[in-house]
Structure 1
Amino acid sequence: MAQIFESLVIRHTHRLPAPEGSAGEGTVAARQFDAVLASVGFKLSAELLERLSGLSEAAVMHTARRTLRVVREMVGDHVRHNAYFIDFPANVPGTEDFWMRCVAEACGDKASRGSHPRQLSRQLTRGAVNLLGLPAYGRYQHTYQEMLAAQDELIASAGDRITVLHLGRDLEDELDDLYLALAASTTPLNEDDLRDLKILAQHRALGPRPEAIPVREIRAVINEARLNVGADLLLDTVTDVLRLACALSGGDVTLQEPTRFRTLPRPLRRGLLAGLDAVVAANPASLADVHAHRERFKRLGERLHPHEYPQWPHAADVFAVARGEKEARSLGSRIEELLDASDVLGAVELLGSAPGRLFRALDLLLRVAADQEERDAVIAAASRAAPDVSGRVVLSVREHLHNRARESGRPRIFVNRRGRAWVTPDLRPPVPAGDRDRLIAVLDAEIRRRLPAPGRLLLDPDVLDVALPLSGRATAAGLGVLPRGSISPVDGEQLRFFVYWKETERRTDFDLSALMLRADYRTDSWLSYTSLRGVGGRHSGDITEAPDGASEFIELSLDRVRGTFIVPQVNIFAGEGFEEVEESFFGFMLRDREQKGRPFEPATVRMKSELRGVGRVALPLVFRRGDDGRWHAKWLHLYLRGVSEGNRVEENQASVSMVVRALVEREQLTVRYLTGLMSDGAAPMEHRDGETLPDGPVTYIGLVRPQGLHPDSRVITLENLRDLIPG
């Protein structure tokens, strides 16, 4: 268990809990450890190297073995990345030549044709051959070791990625800090972080807890751990209890997916019913919340048997409302009735009791207001309610209003909590510009009021265009992954994408493709298994099954690419989905033109993200060439529905183009916006890698933590970027 906890700390913080062991002379072993780490793009901080050097050689080697397993998985080097073409990217044949070679080999090799030579002959007679059935197609024709022998060793470059591992505190202290940081997050966590929090909560259920747990699904995970050990629960709505019931049944605590409630032991049933009773007794109006999840509450009641517990009558009322036997009118129905009667002022007054609902309805209220007096009332109500609205919602509305001025006539994109994206025409009437600007000023003032005084603010310029993580679900788990909408520079000559997947039960075929678009988002060309060579690019070859895992690659010479956009995508051609396979991830590498190396070299990996979405087409990010010729990446983390079988880049280019355009042309609130408010117009200090750091404590915001910061500094990096979002 200690190894699991240690891996959590390393992945989330890039700190290695203080290594333990007998004292000794471990300098040589520590430097060897550092050298091996460099081969996968990591290194030890000077402080950590010194700590390890004072331990025995055996203690250093024990630490090294555990740590290397974790960092190799972080970068995707824990699996074997083979390529169909043994010396990719060299000697990739033309598509037609390759297919003809496969057919010729099938015709000339009786053993490979098995017992179906007539079937192949009939296909050739008809002029159409099933490529998937050819023995040489879609299956590795060489071993991983043979591929390594055919490839050159990596030529190290100054541009290779280096991720520093810092010295942490004792493991228990690091676990406490990580648990409290995740539990107190002001934004929802992604599925992987929520799973990690569950592990920590089970270990820390009776320990310290944050002063506030603002995100409801996080509260559900913590309540599950507390209920299992008999601790008091953190409940103030009936929906909190419903989320807890979903957690106990292994279901979705976000309530986006249906949950099959299990038959729970009597102690857990009593805990849920007592919680429901206490919530309703304290606030009878909370019964109105039942309507939002009526069917779920009905099914839950069938499992809890509230009639067996007459001591909790308020809990029974919850299920009576769900069955329609007791009336509890919802706020939504009352608001809808007022708006149907064109009573905007009445709706505004009623929404004053629900600040979050008011903020989510601001656009609608401003659009349906009959005159300036009603719009003034809406803005005044928003100003009064702003201090009681979560920082995440205030920032989301601020971002919405900024784009509202720019969306007229443009497609409107929707993205659900699972990353599924779809685009529709924007048919909404505009919000009056003057009222929109007044409301934006109110929101800016509220955010500025909540931000802490930064003291000496030190910024890495590369972090300024990173989008604020208003939801952790907008960011996939992985290494070097930025929130949806972030923009980051691409400094390299050779861009290489990779995808890895391993099927669970059924034959599964993922296809890595790259769609090149012109400035007007029309298709220029693509690379895929149907187009192995294109302008400036090579595809590593199609793999059609992955019982032992499989990889595909695409390499592009950026100065030879036509068009303005490069859109890598992963299409599920057949088999299991992204959430069904045993493992799947995507990433990209950057290399110098003359830099040799194997198809997968961890030291050149700039980003590796898990593929976990409900669609059949994954769009991790898009690369855009600016007017100055430089390339930048904009992060998407999107999934398209696709079709059940046979997804191909040729078939989905129109839908991909629409989604890419909608998100590329949308502007997210970034770190630049928030630090501008934080510094109140004063220019903060900038710091680039290698520059001298200030002597005293600072508030540092950057992509990675630099070595040598004052120990009392507040540090915000990608690992804890959510801490920027005020509560």
Structure 2
Amino acid sequence: MAHRLEPLVIRHTHRLPVPLGPEGRGGGAARRFDAALMSVGFKLSASLMEQLSGLAEETVVDTAVRTLDTVREMTGDHVRHNVYFVDFPANVPDTYDFWARCLVDALADDASRQSTLARLSTGVLDLLTLPSYGNYRHTYAEMLAAHDELIAAAGDRMTVLHPGGGADDEVTALYLALAGSTTPLGEDGLRDLGALAGHCADGPQPEAIPVREARAVINLARLGAGADLLLDTVTDVLRLACALSDGDVSLVEPTRFRSLSRPVRRALIAGLDAVVAAAPAKLADVTAHREAFKRLGERLHPHEYPGRPHAADVFAVARGEKEARSFDSHVEELLGRNDVTGAVRLLTAAPGKLFRSLDRLLRVCRTQDERDAVVAAAGQVAPQVSGRVLLSVREHFHNRARETGDRRVFVNGLGRAWVTADTRLPVPAPERERLTAVLDTETRSRLPEPDHLLIDPGILDVALPLSGRATATGLGVLPRGSLSPVDGELLRFFVHWKQTEHRTDYDLSALMLDASYATVSWLSYTALSDVGGAHSGDITDAPDGASEFIDLRLDAVRGTFIVPQVNIYAGEGFEVVEESFFGFMLRDAEQRGRPFEPRTVRMKSELRGPGRVALPLVFLRGSDGRWYAKWLHLYLRGAPHANRVEGNRVSVATLVRGIVERDHLTVRYLTGLMTDRATAVTIWDGASVPAGPVTYIGRERPDGLHPDSLVITPENLRALIPG
């Protein structure tokens, strides 16, 4: 069972559970394993190589087969990436010449000549009706034959795999880390947690499960295993019901509840009854999700359980037959009477709500006494507020000092983004600064005393993962707002998708903007080439999977920003297709190789968000002349069909501006607070590491760290967020 979950351990931790097996002479197999890993940009650490070399060869080979399948999928090398133009990026034709060639081919074909002439007579010609447009004209093998072998370069990515413990121990440790996370997990993280929770239902459990969505997924697994449910609010039961129906446990999107078996109905009714019996005031939580509870009641049949009167009260409140006034309504009543002090006094009973309301409270204050009361209340309850909320509010007020009051960018929990006018009054500077001091002091007090702190400067501009939905599953993916240098001469984006049922056409495009976010040019199926750039060609159907690429010479790019995007022209959405992912590669100018080379992949992320236009990241030219990637993870609603880069230039530029010009709270902020408490601080030079235990914070775990070291990398960066 643990072996089945081994890929999750590798993906989340970059550790390989050391297999159990007889001792032997596995050195040769281990070296072959290492060589195979290097072909896809991975490598065994020295200590892992040593441990594998002491095992029997058969054990090493079995481990290698499983691991190679996992890491190939991590880079996107598990599929065949063909291109429309066989020798891309060379010899990409002019767009209109290419279209004319497709038309000539259609007229020369007896099977398509008459229908093509008929369409031409109307004055309009659909490219999709031309036989040679949109479909591969050569096999994958023929494409490979057209390209030289990849020339190895020192800058090729090399991700090191380190030794872990036994498979069961590693699976348990990963479960505890995900279940006890102080920040919400993304969709894929919740799915992985569900798989782990089922395996670990009878084992150790985290001291606390701070995130409600995680609790729902764990309860689903515990229900299946016959274990006790972990419930303390009626909303926990509602989330579990959503999980049982494969719905949205975050409760953002409505769930269509399925019919439930009698044992499941009995368990949910018992859970509701126990929660309300222990704390009747929790009935007030029903009003926030009244409609969902009404629909759930239709499935649970509470009238069949006369011995559960408290559960019946839940649905009576949902139907409006019983009053249970919410906490928020009391607050709104006080604010409606302009009683800010009274509202603040009430909100101290709900510290998280108070902190989320600070901006609004300070804007409606009419006197200095009221503003003083708000700040004083924040200082009073700060120790009771979660670290994630502290940091989110800290980031918010920092940016409030910089905002011009023009437009606001909103991003919901699913990554869907939109822009509205900013009509808010400013927050008074003195109160903003006093609150910032409160937040810094409280955050500093919660951070660990790291003794010897070893910092990789490459991680300092990585944004703190205050929400798992501000990122995506994949390799080399960083949270929204993170900034990382791009060191290479050739930048190549790629997208791959495989439709589930209907013809699906995704279009990879790149929009170039100047320093004022105005359009300079773009690359897409309507503009196959530009100065220093080329598009691999439009694929319009993907029953067996399809890929598109864009190649750019960074020194030839006109403009300040490069915005890659994936537009859904027709067919299934990102959440419907069997598979879809985006990534980018970096190469030296003289490197050859196939259009897709896993060793050159710097980032590969899943595309599974809402909307019809995906914006994974933006590349920007810094004041030092270097290029940087800033991570977006955004989705635009787009049009139902025929989305094109030309049609969304303005909205894309506005969103990019909102993210680029926002200061996200980064690792630099937390390490700055931690240095005050460290006995020693060392900036890692990429070579030697200290002999003793350290707290290491960096992009990748260095080889040779003391085994008692605490290691924080992007894979477990959420562990840096204080509770």
TM-score tier, shorter chain, comes to: over 0.9
Distance of 2:280 and 2:684 partners within structure 1: 54
Q: Which residue of 2 aligns with 1:64?
A: 64
- TM-score for the superposition, normalised by structure 2: 0.99
Which of the numbers 380, 388, 392 marks the counterpart of 2:388?
A: 392
Q: How far did 1:688 drift?
A: 3.2
- 1:554-565 aligned at under 5 Å gives the runs 554-565=550-561
Please tell me whether the aligned partners of residues 76 and 608 of structure 1 are also in contact (alpha carbons under 8 angstroms). yes
Greater CA deviation, 308-317 or 441-450? Answer: 308-317
Distance of 2:665 and 2:676 partners within structure 1: 17
Which of the numbers 302, 306, 310 marks the counterpart of 2:306?
A: 310
Q: Which residue of 2 aligns with 1:193?
A: 189
The one-letter code matched in structure 2 to 1:252 is D
Q: Which residue of 2 aligns with 1:94?
A: 94
Please tell me whether the aligned partners of residues 239 and 251 of structure 2 are also in contact (alpha carbons under 8 angstroms). yes
Which of the numbers 298, 307, 313 marks the counterpart of 2:294?
A: 298
Please tell me whether the aligned partners of residues 449 and 677 of structure 2 are also in contact (alpha carbons under 8 angstroms). no
Q: Deviations over 1:160-191 (max 9, x none)?
A: 00000111110000011000000000000001
Q: How far did 1:299 drift?
A: 1.2
- C-alpha RMSD over aligned residues: 1.1
Q: Which residue of 1 aligns with 2:681?
A: 684
Q: Deviations over 1:374-431 (max 9, x none)?
A: 0000001111111111111111111000000111233211001110000112110100
Which of the numbers 406, 412, 419 marks the counterpart of 1:410?
A: 406
The one-letter code matched in structure 2 to 1:675 is T
Residue 276 (structure 1) aligned with residue 276 (structure 2): no
Q: Which residue of 1 aligns with 2:47?
A: 47
SS of 2:402's partner is coil
Residue 725 (structure 1) aligned with residue 709 (structure 2): no
**Runs of 4 or more off by more than 4 Å in structure 1?**
none
Which of the numbers 546, 551, 557 marks the counterpart of 1:550?
A: 546
Q: Which residue of 1 aligns with 2:618?
A: 622
Q: Which residue of 2 aligns with 1:250?
A: 246
Q: How far did 1:233 drift?
A: 2.0
The one-letter code matched in structure 2 to 1:546 is A
Which of the numbers 530, 546, 553 marks the counterpart of 1:534?
A: 530
Q: How far did 1:681 drift?
A: 8.2
Q: How far did 1:209 drift?
A: 0.4
The one-letter code matched in structure 1 to 2:707 is P
Which of the numbers 578, 585, 588 marks the counterpart of 2:581?
A: 585
SS of 1:349's partner is helix
Q: How far did 1:241 drift?
A: 1.1
Greater CA deviation, 268-277 or 488-497? Answer: 268-277
Q: Which residue of 2 aligns with 1:513?
A: 509
Distance of 2:259 and 2:493 partners within structure 1: 46
SS of 1:684's partner is strand
Please tell me whether the aligned partners of residues 701 and 715 of structure 1 are also in contact (alpha carbons under 8 angstroms). yes
SS of 2:690's partner is coil
SS of 2:192's partner is helix
- 1:567-578 aligned at under 5 Å gives the runs 567-578=563-574
Please tell me whether the aligned partners of residues 618 and 639 of structure 1 are also in contact (alpha carbons under 8 angstroms). yes
Distance of 2:57 and 2:234 partners within structure 1: 56
The one-letter code matched in structure 2 to 1:644 is P
The one-letter code matched in structure 2 to 1:478 is G
Q: How far did 1:308 drift?
A: 1.8
Distance of 1:85 and 1:604 partners within structure 2: 21
- 1:487-498 aligned at under 5 Å gives the runs 487-498=483-494
Q: Which residue of 2 aligns with 1:18?
A: 18
Distance of 2:336 and 2:702 partners within structure 1: 57
Please tell me whether the aligned partners of residues 456 and 698 of structure 1 are also in contact (alpha carbons under 8 angstroms). yes
Q: Which residue of 1 aligns with 2:449?
A: 453
Greater CA deviation, 56-65 or 155-164? Answer: 56-65
The one-letter code matched in structure 1 to 2:544 is D
- 1:10-409 aligned at under 5 Å gives the runs 10-111=10-111, 113=112, 117-409=113-405
Q: How far did 1:32 drift?
A: 1.1
Please tell me whether the aligned partners of residues 3 and 66 of structure 1 are also in contact (alpha carbons under 8 angstroms). no
The one-letter code matched in structure 2 to 1:433 is A
Q: How far did 1:238 drift?
A: 0.9
Q: May I ask how many residue pairs the two structures share in their alignment?
A: 722
Q: How far did 1:2 drift?
A: 4.1
Please tell me whether the aligned partners of residues 408 and 430 of structure 1 are also in contact (alpha carbons under 8 angstroms). no
The one-letter code matched in structure 1 to 2:681 is P
Distance of 1:124 and 1:543 partners within structure 2: 23
Q: How far did 1:670 drift?
A: 0.2
Q: How far did 1:250 drift?
A: 2.1
Q: How far did 1:127 drift?
A: 4.5
Distance of 1:282 and 1:127 partners within structure 2: 74
Cα–Cα, structure 1 residues 206 and 3, in superposed 2: closer, same or farther, change >3 Å?
A: closer
Greater CA deviation, 678-687 or 433-442? Answer: 678-687
Q: Which residue of 2 aligns with 1:658?
A: 654
Residue 693 (structure 1) aligned with residue 692 (structure 2): no
SS of 1:569's partner is strand
Distance of 1:356 and 1:46 partners within structure 2: 46
Q: Deviations over 1:118-150 (max 9, x none)?
A: 221133344432111111100000000000011
- TM-score for the superposition, normalised by structure 1: 0.98
Please tell me whether the aligned partners of residues 407 and 426 of structure 1 are also in contact (alpha carbons under 8 angstroms). no
Q: Which residue of 2 aligns with 1:716?
A: 712
Q: How far did 1:55 drift?
A: 2.1
Please tell me whether the aligned partners of residues 450 and 677 of structure 2 are also in contact (alpha carbons under 8 angstroms). no
Structure 2 unaligned runs (5+)?
Answer: none
Q: How far did 1:290 drift?
A: 0.4
SS of 2:157's partner is coil
Please tell me whether the aligned partners of residues 341 and 370 of structure 2 are also in contact (alpha carbons under 8 angstroms). yes
Please tell me whether the aligned partners of residues 509 and 575 of structure 1 are also in contact (alpha carbons under 8 angstroms). yes
Distance of 2:161 and 2:385 partners within structure 1: 38
- The percentage of counterpart residues that share the same residue type is 72
The one-letter code matched in structure 2 to 1:256 is V
Distance of 1:122 and 1:300 partners within structure 2: 56
Please tell me whether the aligned partners of residues 466 and 486 of structure 1 are also in contact (alpha carbons under 8 angstroms). yes
The one-letter code matched in structure 1 to 2:228 is D
Distance of 2:93 and 2:664 partners within structure 1: 42
Please tell me whether the aligned partners of residues 516 and 526 of structure 1 are also in contact (alpha carbons under 8 angstroms). yes
Q: How far did 1:155 drift?
A: 0.3
Distance of 2:323 and 2:439 partners within structure 1: 37
Q: Deviations over 1:325-380 (max 9, x none)?
A: 11111111111111111110111111111111111110000000011100000001
Please tell me whether the aligned partners of residues 697 and 710 of structure 1 are also in contact (alpha carbons under 8 angstroms). yes
SS of 1:525's partner is strand
The one-letter code matched in structure 1 to 2:311 is A
Distance of 1:613 and 1:59 partners within structure 2: 39
Q: How far did 1:232 drift?
A: 2.2
Please tell me whether the aligned partners of residues 18 and 52 of structure 2 are also in contact (alpha carbons under 8 angstroms). no
Distance of 1:93 and 1:359 partners within structure 2: 57
Q: How far did 1:718 drift?
A: 0.9
Distance of 1:211 and 1:419 partners within structure 2: 30
Distance of 1:20 and 1:123 partners within structure 2: 67
Q: Deviations over 1:540-590 (max 9, x none)?
A: 000000000000000100000011000000000000000000000000000
Q: Deviations over 1:488-514 (max 9, x none)?
A: 000000000000000000000000000
